[in-house]
Amino acid sequence: MRYLLMGIFGWVCSVHVMATEYSATVLVEGLNAPWAMASLPSGGWLVTERSGQLLYIKDNTIQGRVAGTPEVYFAGQGGLLDVSLHPAFENNGLIYLSYSQGNADSNALAVFKARLNLSGLTLEDGQTIFSVSPGKDTPVHYGGRIAFMADGSLLLSSGDGFDYRESAQRKDAQLGKILRMDDSGRALPDNPWFAEAKYLWTLGHRNPQALLFDAVSNSVFSHEHGPAGGDEINIIKAGVNYGWPVVTNGKDYSGASISPFTTYPGMQSPWLDWTPSIAPSDMILYRGQQFTEFQGQLLVTTLKSRELRLVEMSDGQFTAQKRFLSHLNERLRGIEQDAAGNIFLLTDSGKLLQLTID
Ligand SMILES: [Ca+2]
């Protein structure tokens, strides 16, 4: 018995020593509700603050506020949301912002396009190239993530507006969808329902908070918030119905059942379901060299769970999850990798962090 215990003790110790531990270095503090960031090829970051500011950060310092951003409807979950560089940014300097526009009676997720003048800290030729239709009178569930695909098309995740969840199944509404357009905001003729619903790429989403295109696997991943339970990751393919609110593993916040169905013919079940909810906020598919454990895997920031989730897969199938950074006790809002393979995080408490190996 004594030898058996010693054996177990030794095994536990060796596992502890072998596992890689991660922590984070604070680069910048004092950000005001940061939502998203984009790594600039010249070094530094563009960071959005939900109240409407676009900040330029370099050398661990806020260099200034970029002028020329759109006027945002700042309420609830709305305001200035994502920032994304055009795939040919180094040639054309174009950036894209998602934001909520309008007022309490009628507001909508919109996309703003502009040319970044970094030396002048201003946006030039800015224009709103798209806004979700119809408008709504709730300040929540915008979705709002932008991702460019290899063909140069722009994907936009649009939330269901909370009170309008039935719209997620209707082709005559852009709520609860992933939308696809060109880099000027025009619908693309090869979209799956172009004749009847030009912009729609997929149906049946609730509040998709992450959206990414991975060039290596030529795949698109998203995640979205369920209600109480039913957070999910999906692999996004054109023309697919992802089920909300007909199919969900979540319940209403009251505890009432939303749907009797967890599967339904013609609707795609989640690639990964989180019940109970972890409130995922952002996600990358890591393609750098610096963190070997993360290569080719998904990293998900979480709000409710206050941790970084590694979601491992093999041949496109989910295999395992691991949890990191719980000791920070931070609501993690955003994650990005830079060209060198470094990983950066945003927190709701207003910090820009860099991931480190302990
Ligand atoms: Ca679903």
CATH number at residue 33: 2.120.10.30
pLDDT in tens, 272-326: 999 999 999 999 999 999 999 999 999 999 999 999 999 999 999 999 999 999 9
With respect to residue 209, please indicate whether it lies within any of the assigned structural domains: yes
Which amino acid makes up residue 18?
A: M
- Structure confidence at residue 258 (pLDDT): 87
Alpha-carbon gap, residue 210 to 336, rounded angstroms: 12
At 27, which helix (H) or strand (E)?
Answer: strand 22-28
Residue 123 alpha carbon to ligand 1 centre in Å: 37
Told to judge if 225 belongs to the known catalytic residues of this protein, a careful annotator would answer: no
Ligand 1 centroid distance, CA of 166 (Å): 13
Q: Which helix (H) or strand (E) holds 12?
A: helix 2-18
Q: How far is the centre of ligand 1, averaged over its atoms, from the C-alpha of 205 (Å)?
A: 6
Asked, for residue 15, whether it belongs to a domain, the answer is no
Query: Distance (Å, rounded) from C-alpha 181 to C-alpha 191?
Result: 9
Predicted confidence at residue 18, as pLDDT, reads: 61
- Total structural domains within the chain: 1
Asked if the structure places residue 12 within a domain, the reply is: no
The boundaries of the domain holding residue 254 are 22-357
Q: What per-residue confidence (pLDDT) applies to 16?
A: 46
What is the Å distance from ligand 1's center to 160 Cα?
A: 12
Q: Which residues of 125-139 are buried (b: 16+ CB within 10 A; e: fewer)?
A: ebeebbbbeebbebb
**pLDDT of the residue at 256:** 87
Interval between CA 148 and ligand 1 midpoint (Å): 22
Give distance in angstroms: CA of 175 to centre of ligand 1. Answer: 14
Q: Is residue 34 part of a domain?
A: yes
**How does DSSP classify residue 333?**
E
Is 102 inside a domain boundary?
A: yes
| Positions of the chain with pLDDT lower than 50, given as ranges | 1-17
Buried b or exposed e, range 225-260, using 16+ CB within 10 angstroms: bbbebbbbbbbbeeebbbbbbbbbbbbeeeeeebbe
The 272-274 sheet, strands edge to edge: 207-214, 219-225, 231-236, 272-274
Distance from the alpha carbon of residue 202 to the mean position of ligand 1, in angstroms: 11
Confidence (pTM): 0.94
How high is the pLDDT of residue 3?
46
Residue 52 lies in a domain: yes
pLDDT of residue 12: 47
| Contact of 156 with 145, CB cutoff 8 Å | yes
Residue 9 domain flag: no
Residue 315 domain flag: yes
Asked if residue 276 has a cis previous peptide bond (ω within 30° of 0), the answer is yes
The one-letter amino acid code at 347 reads T
Query: CA-to-CA distance for 83 and 142, rounded, in angstroms?
Result: 15
Find the catalytic residue in 16, 86, 141, 205. Answer: 141
